Chains A and B, each alone.
Chain A
Amino acid sequence: DTGVSQNPRHKITKRGQNVTFRCDPISEHNRLYWYRQTLGQGPEFLTYFQNEAQLEKSRLLSDRFSAERPKGSFSTLEIQRTEQGDSAMYLCASILEGSYNEQFFGPGTRLTVL
Chain B
Amino acid sequence: AQRVTQPEKLLSVFKGAPVELKCNYSYSGSPELFWYVQYSRQRLQLLLRHISRESIKGFTADLNKGETSFHLKKPFAQEEDSAMYYCALSPQNTGNQFYFGTGTSLTVIP
Report which A residues bind B (CB closer than 8 A).
Answer: 3-4, 31, 33, 35, 40-45, 48, 55-56, 58, 91, 93, 95, 97, 100-108
Contact = CB atoms under 8 A, between A and B. Distances in A.
Contacts of A42: 4, 6, 86, 88, 100-103
A43 B100 contact: yes
Given A102-B49, A107-B43, A31 B102 contact: no
B43 A55 contact: no
Contacts of B46: 102-103
A101 B9 CA distance: 26
B81 interface: no
Interface size for chain B: under 10, 10 to 19, 20 to 34, or 35 or more residues?
20 to 34
Contacts of A35: 100
Nearest to A42: B100
B44 A43 contact: yes
A56 B96 CA distance: 7
A98 to B, nearest CB: 10
14 contacts: A40-B102, A41-B103, A42-B6, A42-B86, A42-B101, A45-B99, A56-B96, A97-B95, A100-B49, A101-B49, A101-B93, A102-B46, A103-B44, A103-B46
A9 to B, nearest CB: 12
